[in-house]
């Protein structure tokens, strides 16, 4: 699991150069807005935009690769479970949430 999470994380990080400027503007707006709302919280300016992009874009694509044109068919149940764990881990990382008792 850690291997695949790392591979996906690196691929997302390295894809920054292909992020449309309109999306970057939205993420910047989210960052500024939450900084104004919670000026004493240094973390929220990072977790709000990253949580948004992972919740709305990356995790749905990982959970439903066929729906996003990433595969020709839905993954079998065992692979779907792995994809769910990968998406959950990435969402937690984007929100700076620690691992629970079930996670490694």
d(CA 56, CA 66): 16
Secondary structure E strands in the chain:
none
Of residues 101 and 76, which shows the higher confidence score? 76
pLDDT per residue over 51-93, tens digit each?
Answer: 999 999 999 999 999 999 999 999 999 999 999 999 999 999 9
**CA angle, residues 24, 35, 14, in degrees to nearest 5:** 30
pTM: 0.83
Torsion sign, CA atoms 77, 82, 50, 18:
negative
Does residue 104 surpass a pLDDT of 70? no
């Amino acid at each position: 699991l850690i291997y695949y999470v790392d591979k996906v994380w690196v691929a997302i990080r390295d894809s920054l150069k292909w992020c449309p400027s309109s999306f970057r503007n939205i993420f910047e707006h989210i960052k500024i807005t939450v900084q104004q709302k919670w000026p004493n919280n240094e973390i929220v300016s990072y977790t709000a935009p990253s949580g948004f992009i992972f919740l709305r874009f990356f995790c749905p694509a990982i959970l439903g690769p066929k729906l996003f044109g990433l595969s020709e068919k839905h993954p079998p149940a065992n692979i779907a479970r792995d994809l769910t764990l990968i998406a959950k881990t990435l969402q937690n990382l984007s929100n700076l949430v620690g691992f629970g008792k079930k996670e490694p």
